[in-house]
Structure 1
Amino acid sequence: MTGPERHTRQKDAVLRQLRTCDDFVSAQELHRKLDDEGVKIGLATVYRQLNALADSGAADTIRLDGQQLFRLCGDDGHHHHLVCRRCGKTVEIDPPSEAWVRKVAEGHGFTVESHTLEVFGLCPDCQKD
């Protein structure tokens, strides 16, 4: 199978697997999960599909310890998270007020088109370790 059919099958497989992940996940981890399911798809293709989802706004992406991680966006369009640096656990949080975001941006001469917020630290379980 080549062309658009293959592209759609691969995209659907990546999306389906990403839906099962509550926390941010690396392309390598997603690739491993797909492989464990018997889905044959190259790692480079997984990266391409994840980046396409991020570019379209369907997925969030962050960099954690030099690694790019991905997470499917919720239906509410939230892009604000607490992220554990150790285990990757992710919690959606309420965004800062729109007025605050605009005030900070305008204070530096920027206009606001969109924003995301990730706060990094240790989750309660990792703090115990």
Structure 2
Amino acid sequence: METNEAIDILKQEGHKYTDKRRTILDIFVSEDKYINAKHVQQKMDKHFPGISFDTVYRNLHLFKDLGIVESTEFDGEMKFRIACTNHHHHHFICETCGETKVIDFCPLEEVKSQLPKVSINTHKLEVYGVCEHCQTV
């Protein structure tokens, strides 16, 4: 997802456009990996000195509710990334740097064959490990 697409979603859902929200979105689009709210706050502080953690966190959860960002939890904290909207896929997530890699394989059909009497509403597959770059550092 690109920044302008995310802003369109905000407006369509009746939320105000602000420079702070655009900057948060720009951070996610440029980083394109899982990052925590503290990292976002530190980046935001360069443009908006003194921005509160609560402001960043509230916006991240709004973006999550609107499907603009995705979240996961590892290392005992919530991390976020810009939502993928181009096609159905899953992610490998580096536990060291937060980089993500697309996994185009989806195991849902196999899961359905193993659980024929259940109704599956949604699913998410995340694979965690250490990326090639972080292994060499």
What TM-score comes out, normalization by structure 2 length?
0.74
Structure 2 unpaired stretches of 5+: 1-14
Partner of 1:3: none
Encode CA deviations 1:13-65: one digit per residue, 9 max, x unaligned: 32222222121111110111111123653211211111122222221101111
User: Which of 11, 15, 22 is equivalent to 2:21?
Assistant: 11
Q: Percent identity?
A: 30
May I ask how many residue pairs the two structures share in their alignment? Answer: 123
Question: Contact (CA 8 Å) 1:60, 1:79: kept in 2 or not?
Answer: no
RMSD: 2.5
1:20 is paired with a residue of what secondary structure?
Answer: helix
Return the letter of the residue paired with 1:121.
G
Question: Contact (CA 8 Å) 1:25, 1:69: kept in 2 or not?
Answer: yes
1:127 is paired with a residue of what secondary structure?
Answer: helix
Distance, in Å, in 2 between the alignment partners of 1:46 and 1:110 is 38
Question: Contact (CA 8 Å) 1:78, 1:92: kept in 2 or not?
Answer: no
Q: Does 1:76 align with 2:86?
A: yes
User: Which of 15, 34, 44 is equivalent to 1:24?
Assistant: 34
- Offset at residue 113 of structure 1 (A): 1.8
- Offset at residue 7 of structure 1 (A): 4.9
Matches within 5 A, 1:1-129: 7-9=16-18, 10-38=20-48, 41-78=51-88, 80-104=90-114, 106=115, 110-129=118-137
What TM-score comes out, normalization by structure 1 length?
0.78
Distance, in Å, in 2 between the alignment partners of 1:74 and 1:114 is 16
Structure 1 unpaired stretches of 5+: 1-5
Return the letter of the residue paired with 1:8.
Y
